Structure 1
């Protein structure tokens, strides 16, 4: 076991040096893992198009970016949203808060609480070329002014500890997507190729990807990815996605510009 863990950590350290997406396996499950350095990659959040409508599909975002002379290198759904494609929680884009922090909690049996409200949930944010993930209560107390932020839940890993509600061997399985802030500040996105439970997915971030903090983004039909390098052009099965992460290769715009 110690030998396998050491190999995994060495692999993670090597992979953290490379930006981009690749296929990986962990605990007998297959994943796509995408790694980006927030200091050098133009990682952003997107929600509305030039007409003020939600993009809903990755190809629409890619087309609009291409029309500006840039290229969309990667995209992933960026957290949970309503049937109108509105983010359920905090959403900040280019320094503007478009949706407020959601501090609501639901008192119910854990299995019946929607994923977003399984406390603690959390916030992913980008500020001054650095990324972070904080539980919602810690983010509220931190007095941050990020350029980009999205709220989702539950947290998967908190200061290198798995979320206490995640059950090893749980039979609640589906495709899942998430994001971690990892060794050397790298941002690592992961999406499962098959159905996995929360505990296994959280272990991927902590034990394989070397991420002391990680956040669940979405699952089931809400989990999708855009990666031309891997020939992945997912489309939502139920009308569209809400907010999206995107990495842009700039032709004539500055990093972080709308």
Structure 2
């Protein structure tokens, strides 16, 4: 299997973004996050790194948890993947809908947001591959990303082998039918399921995307 692909209906599952514990300390790893959730009897079905971070593990861009802005939207220009415009935002709205939006569009519309993480570059923008991607460039890493498909389901992907951004983007658009998709990170990408590490490395993580059973 070249990729791990997980598809969740946001109406049926509780999809969150997390970063720090109640004392404001970044979890720093999927294992630490899963353990903290298990103490609260909230073991996630799946956890995945979900955005780029500074050396102190603080997010580079927008972070919203439970409707509260923990870090602001970052529209700056700089070097690195995060700043390869257009970059974007993955969000869960307060009505439960999921979306991947280009960052300037997010700033223009300011949707009512419950959870959000910003990263970059966008992989797919309104059905178009990011204009700066080569067909199959020489930069190859284990990568992970998130998209929303044409059935409004959240699609999470982690590659099991090193791939180019062009390859990764075409996977979301052509095979997974996501008209909008966002690159989350490369090299540090990892995923856990039910508290057990299943793929990727053991690097530190900043923002975390987690999927829980929805309370009945």
The answer, yes or no, to whether TM exceeds 0.5 is yes
Distance 2:146 2:48 in 1: 10
Equivalence for 1:135: 102
Equivalence for 1:41: 13
Distance 1:172 1:213 in 2: 22
- 1:55/1:242 contact within 8 Å kept: yes
- 1:144 paired with 2:111, answer yes
Task: Give runs of aligned pairs for residues 6-45 of structure 1, distance below 5 A.
Answer: 24=1, 30-45=2-17
- Offset of residue 233 of structure 1: 6.3
Equivalence for 1:225: 191
Task: Give runs of aligned pairs for residues 74-85 of structure 1, distance below 5 A.
Answer: 74-85=46-57
Equivalence for 2:68: 96
| Deviation sequence 1:131-176 (CA, Å, 0-9, x none) | 0111111110012120001100000000111000000131111111
Q: Which runs of 5+ in 2 are unaligned?
A: none
Structure number with bigger Rg: 1
- Offset of residue 230 of structure 1: 8.4
- 1:65/1:72 contact within 8 Å kept: yes
Equivalence for 1:243: 207
Q: How many residues align?
A: 215
Relative to its length, the structure with more helix (as a share) is 1
Equivalence for 1:63: 35
Q: Which runs of 5+ in 1 are unaligned?
A: 1-23, 25-29, 107-112
Equivalence for 2:45: 73
| Deviation sequence 1:22-75 (CA, Å, 0-9, x none) | xx5xxxxx0011111111101101111133211111121111211112221100
- Correspondent of 2:182 among 206, 215, 222: 215
SS in 1 for 2:13: coil
Equivalence for 1:105: 77
Distance 2:197 2:82 in 1: 30
- Correspondent of 1:122 among 61, 85, 88: 88
TM-score, normalising length from structure 2? 0.94
